[in-house]
Amino acid sequence: MKRSSKTRAWHHRHVHDFYVREAQAQGYRSRAAFKLMEIDDRDRLFRPGMTVVDLGAAPGGWCQVAAERLKGQGRIVGLDLLEVAPIPGVEFIQGDFTEQEILQALEAGLDGRPVDLVICDMAPNITGIAPADQAKSYYLVELALDFAATWLQPHGIFLVKVFQGEGFEAFMKAMRGHFKTVAVRKPKASRERSPEVYLLGRELIEAARNLD
């Protein structure tokens, strides 16, 4: 079956994408690694000794960056529905984050210890039906926000990918209800035409935490 013109155009952009080529050249598993590096360079997310949870970790690009920047000092736990090839210094849990059993496994692995940084690059399997895909996306990030609000230490940080459009303002309001500061980041490695942005929440609001 011949590829559609749309598929061929995507493939051409992907193959010739600067960050795709850089990821291949530098040994990163995804171009998304450069998004996290750029945000960290600006906002200083990582510091040695942190406990970091990566939700939606596959194929492992963000975990690679986290491992590099923690310099072997700290703990990184990645979770994804897909299998992720091992990365030194990273623990992986394979499973569906929306399932209570998998969430409980992640929480049990934390052994009651608070988390310093939650990073989330999750996205649902795309159906091509925009309203449905957008709703699924926000369902996932709402679950991620609940997890972060529950497990982050008071000065913790939450970085999450969202898509502008239906649900964005409501989710932004929810973020502001949990964090003292919420910033929007659009790294250069994000494709200009993509509606994706990253929301960065810092410093939990204790009143909101106590209500959960």
Q: Which active-site residues does the annotation give? A: 161
Nearest to 59 by CA among 94, 84, 79, 93: 84
b/e code 90-126 from CB counts within 10 Å (16+ = b) = bebbeeebeeeebbeebeeeeeeeebbbbbbbbbbee
User: Residue 101, Cα to own-chain centre: how many angstroms?
Assistant: 21
Which residues is 157 bridged to in the sheet? 117, 202
CA distances from 99 to 7, 36, 58, 104, 154 (A): 33, 27, 17, 9, 26
Pair 158, 208: CB distance under 8 Å:
no
Backbone angles phi, psi at 79, to 5 degrees: -135, 135
